[in-house]
Structure formats: structure tokens, C-alpha cells
Structure 1
Amino acid sequence: MKKLLVTGASGFLGYNLCQYAQENWQVYGSYYNHKLDSKNINFVKVDVTNIDELQTIFKQIKPDAVIHLAAASKPNYCQNNPEDSYKINVTASGNIAKLCADVNIPCVFTSTDLVFDGLNPAYKESDPVSPISYYGEQKVKAEQEMLIIYPKTVICRMPLMFGCDSLG
């Protein structure tokens, strides 16, 4: 069975994606603070801002594909902690793109609809970005860097999501 690495697997989207993906993949889910229990998901603790840890995980797991969901996703946190959030949202994303490029595996990145200002919806992927928050700016920068480093990266701009909390 092919191996899928999902960063940010303890978050809402990550956990639900891992649950769904385990039907067809051997799933490895990275977490930083909140390890979850799931019978068929291999959770691995990783600081995505640490390139050495990322390289080690890539060497150990040898993923066939990566879905990068890990993020500092609260706009207020990003505004109040610009350096820390930049490391998580931009630097780590570029590093993950590079690691995927090195072994030529699919790389999917979740961005946000907050790359737009919200004044002219519905947006198309070709519409110019115009973020109004530091979080949106970071996601734009991450998209740009990832595509420069690894043009095969797939960018998914996710809108507001809701549902049951992954932590129960």
C-alpha cells in the first residue's frame, strides 16, 4: 500500500482527511502538540519548522505523496506572532515542497480563501490575490514559494470549514 504523509493531522481537516485516506493509503499523520488516537493512522511528532526533523521523517517514512495542512491558521495569532507564524506558514511550506521535489512525489498544499479581500466573490484561481490580513499574506507567500520550488505542487484554497471537532 502506498504511503501518505499528512502534516497537521491533529487539526480538523487533517484528522478527517486521514480517516478518509486510510481506505487506500498507509497514512502517516504529523502532529506537534495534540496526538490523536486512531487504529490505522501512524501519528508522528514533528516540528514542521525544523528542517532536520522533516528530513528525518521523509527518510524514515518514504512517502509516496504529501498533503501539507500544518499551519498557524488563526489570523490574530499570525498578526501578534509574525515571526513564529511565518516559520510555520511560509518557511516550513517551502521546505516541504523542496523535500517533495527531491523525490518527485505529489505535494498538495492547503491555502485559504483569505488570500482574497472578499470584495468580489466568487473567485477563480486566476483572480489576483489581495489579502487583508497577515495570515492571508503568509499563505500567498507560501503558495508562491512552493510553486517556485516545486511547480508540480497543487494549491487548494479552502474556505471556512465546519463540522465536529477532531478531538472529540
Structure 2
Amino acid sequence: MRAVIFGASGLLGRPMMRAFADQQVSGTGLRRKSQRLITLDATSPGDVRDVLDRLRPDIVVNCVGERRPEVWAGAPARARRLNVAAARLIAQGAHDHGARLLHISSDYVFDGRNPAYRTDAPRNPVNAYGRWKRLAEDAVRSLCPEATILRLPVLYGRAEYATETNLTQIASQLSAGCDMELDDDCVRYPTHANEAAEVCRWIAGAQLQGRYLGSVCHWSAEQGFTKYEMVVMIARRFGLPAVHVRAGQADTAGGDRPVDCRLDCGDLRAALGWPAHRYRRFDEEFTQVVEPWLLSFRPVSAEGGR
């Protein structure tokens, strides 16, 4: 199997490359971050066409997107291109080359008012990111009808910089003693990027075997937390003071964050036969993810200990 991972330098793309390592896999990134990646602009028709012409993949996975709210606000045109235009180009390219497409979407296509959401639930996004993801899904369905769309919630995992995930960002702010108000209304279901990548590998295998898993699939961890609850867990686990952190309604005050987009994942779990030992629990996994972003702020004793 020849696979191409678009967006392979990102939080999901990096473990995706590892998950597909048993195959002939190539990854792309906007800026080369390793010798394994092809430098490519996923919003360029020529770049997308050229790499697919050259590699002739059996499976294409689209991890390209922009999820950071500060970019939605500061560079909305660019964020839209990464979330919508890139999806169109990759879907058209996969279809033209006869490749199977796995397109990564988001739980933010839902309004968060009626969880748990099945794959056929009405989409009603409440912010720009969700609307872009809905447009991307529509483009994929139109241009590459045989594609599989996988909706995921917020991801966490080994980050390359603190702001790459919500979790590592709030952890670094906590340990730095920043005064902050964190939302205690919106429930998130943080899912480990490694688990999401493994699921994608299983889906790709099923696609190439001709197994039909549905045109839209959902995957999510089951544990739900607000941002405030997550920072309290971090503080307790590492013995950090949290008196400078307040519970609030920061993400719901403007009405542009869904309150609870819990995904119903029963169909995909049953179809894949996902083994129980592969599920990753946030309360067991978050420690090793956030610890690297706490060390530089924690006092070091004369003996060199933490």
C-alpha cells in the first residue's frame, strides 16, 4: 500500500506517519521539518497535483487544517484556505488518481446542544471553524463520493511548541503563574493523537479491503472535561498552586463555542473491533504530555532535583 499523508508535520500528522510506517508512506508539510517530508502548499493546485502524479498513492489522508482561534481571528482568509480550499484540492486529486481518501473533520460541525451526535445528525456549526469544516465535508462528498470522513474532537499529544494544543498551552500558563480565567462550561473530550492515528490506519486498511464503514465516522475519547477542570487536574497532579486560576465562561460568553459536542462512536468501534487495551484515558495520559512544558518553570534545587 502506498499512502500519502497531507499535513504530516502537525499534531495528528506526526503520529499518522508512524501509524502508517508499515506501508510505503510519504508525508507533506508546508515547511520541511524532517527529511521524510515533502515541502508542499496544500492550497496550491499545482503542488497537490504534482505530488499525487509522482507518488500514485492507494490511500490519501488529509490532516491539513487550521484549528487555532487566534488564527481564525487574525488571518481568517488563510485559515479558510487551509480548512476548505485544501480539502477541495486533495479530494479532487484523490478521486482523479483513483485513491481512497480519508478526510479528517471536526466535532465543531455540531452546535453542541443535543449530544451525543450520531454521524447522520444535522450539522449546525456556531463558529467560523465549524462552518469551514462543514464546507470542507460538502466539498469532499461532492468531489470524492467514495471518501470516508472522520470527525474527531480536540486532540492532545506530544507537542512541539506549547500553543500546539490547548492542554500544553494552559499547562505552561499554569506553571508560569499566569493570572487566567478558564471556561468551565464547554465540555471537551480530549483524544490522544496517537490513538486517532491508529484508528485512521485501521480505517485505511478496511477501505483497501473493500469493507464499508460508512461515509462518515466518529471517534472520540469518552472522558469529558472543561478547560478549568483540566487545569485543576494538572495543578493537583504536579502540586502547583492554582489560586491565580478562575472558573468562568470565557468560551461561551460570545456564543461561538459549542457547549457539548460529544460524538456517538459506537458504530465505528463495533466495525473496527477496537480492543479495550488500546483505549487511552485522559486522566492516565495527560501527565506525560504536559510535564515537558512544566519543567522549565519549576524550581530546581541546589542538588539538581525538581
The answer to whether TM tops 0.5 is yes
CA distance, structure 2, for counterparts of residue 119 and residue 145 of structure 1? 25
CA distance, structure 2, for counterparts of residue 138 and residue 45 of structure 1? 24
The residue correspondences of 1:83-94 to structure 2 (distance < 5 A) are 83-94=77-88
Deviations 1:71-106 (A, max 9, x none): 112133124322212211111111111111112210
Aligned sequence identity (%):
28
Q: Determine which of 26, 29, 32 is the counterpart of 2:27.
A: 29
Please state how far the C-alpha of 1:166 moved relative to its aligned partner.
5.3
Partner SS for 1:9 = coil
Partner SS for 2:31 = coil
Q: Counterpart in 2 of 1:3?
A: 2
Q: Which has the larger radius of gyration?
A: 2
CA distance, structure 1, for counterparts of residue 95 and residue 21 of structure 2? 24
Q: Which runs of 4+ in 1 moved over 6 A?
A: none
Residues 15 and 166 in structure 1, CA contact (< 8 A), matched pair in contact too: no
CA distance, structure 2, for counterparts of residue 110 and residue 44 of structure 1? 20
Please state how far the C-alpha of 1:3 moved relative to its aligned partner.
1.3
Q: Counterpart in 2 of 1:117?
A: 111
Residues 32 and 45 in structure 1, CA contact (< 8 A), matched pair in contact too: yes
The residue correspondences of 1:33-72 to structure 2 (distance < 5 A) are 33=31, 35-36=33-34, 42-72=36-66
Residue 95 of structure 1 aligns with an amino acid whose one-letter code is L
User: Is it true that 1:131 corresponds to 2:125 in the alignment?
Assistant: yes
Residues 31 and 40 in structure 2, CA contact (< 8 A), matched pair in contact too: no
Residues 79 and 134 in structure 1, CA contact (< 8 A), matched pair in contact too: no
CA distance, structure 2, for counterparts of residue 50 and residue 126 of structure 1? 32
Q: Counterpart in 2 of 1:158?
A: 152
Q: Counterpart in 1 of 2:280?
A: none
How many residues are matched?
162
Partner SS for 2:156 = coil
CA distance, structure 2, for counterparts of residue 64 and residue 89 of structure 1? 23
CA distance, structure 1, for counterparts of residue 47 and residue 20 of structure 2? 24
Residues 32 and 39 in structure 2, CA contact (< 8 A), matched pair in contact too: no
TM-score by length of structure 2 reads 0.51
CA distance, structure 1, for counterparts of residue 151 and residue 141 of structure 2? 14
Question: Tell me, which stretches of 5 or more residues in structure 1 are unaligned?
Answer: none
Please state how far the C-alpha of 1:36 moved relative to its aligned partner.
3.3
Q: Counterpart in 1 of 2:96?
A: 102
CA distance, structure 1, for counterparts of residue 34 and residue 123 of structure 2? 35
CA distance, structure 1, for counterparts of residue 52 and residue 102 of structure 2? 15
Partner SS for 1:12 = coil
Partner SS for 1:114 = helix
Q: Counterpart in 2 of 1:15?
A: 14
TM-score by length of structure 1 reads 0.90
Question: Tell me, which stretches of 5 or more residues in structure 2 are unaligned?
Answer: 162-291, 293-306
